[in-house]
Amino acid sequence: MKWNLALWAVMLLSLVNVSCSKKGNDEGGAALSSYDGWMLASWGGDETIAGRVYLSFSGDGFTLYQQIGDLSTAGFTRYTGTCAFTENGKLLSGTYSDGTPWRTEYVVLAHTDTELRLLSVQENIESVYVPVQIPDSVKDAPLALASRSGGSVEPFL
């Protein structure tokens, strides 16, 4: 069981490493330049929170926008921090800007122009993301810049 989790973690990290390090399509196509992030399409096979989580990578940093929990409030919560790829890019881990680590590491299962699949190491849950241009309404007007000490909603990662 631990070996399977470690293998998945390594695969997840590879995918994220490619995500964090690419800013465009090195093959000359326009596909990668037409989006600036990833939108959660399904989590554990469930599409209930699809469109409620956006993730973007820049260098060794990340920005997470989420609208999870009490959906009666408008807007997204924004989290930022750093991410690192280990195990030859197969394992992804991160730390929020307040120094708190992500709740799990992720194995990169797939990373293509059309899909990002991550498997959480501790929970063994697969997340599927699709490339998108993150809407300005999500990026420019988040409900709050999250302070992890307050609020009842945990960050998605």
Q: Per residue in 118-147, pLDDT tens?
A: 999 999 999 999 999 999 888 886 665 554
Q: Please tell me the distance from the alpha carbon of residue 65 to that of residue 62, in angstroms, as a whole number.
A: 10
- Give CA 15 to chain center in angstroms: 11
Global confidence as pTM: 0.71
Residue 73 confidence (pLDDT): 62
Single-letter code of the amino acid located at 9: A
The residue to which tokens 């420019």 are assigned: 140
- Domains of the chain (ranges; CATH) run 2-145 (2.40.128.280)
Single-letter code of the amino acid located at 68: I
Q: Using H for helix, E for strand and C for coil, what is the string for 3-24? A: HHHHHHHHHHHHHHHHHHHCCC
Residue 84 confidence (pLDDT): 83
Q: For residue 92, is pLDDT > 90?
A: no
Q: For residue 108, is pLDDT > 60?
A: yes
Residue 64 confidence (pLDDT): 94
CA angle at residue 65 from 153 to 98, to 5 degrees?
65
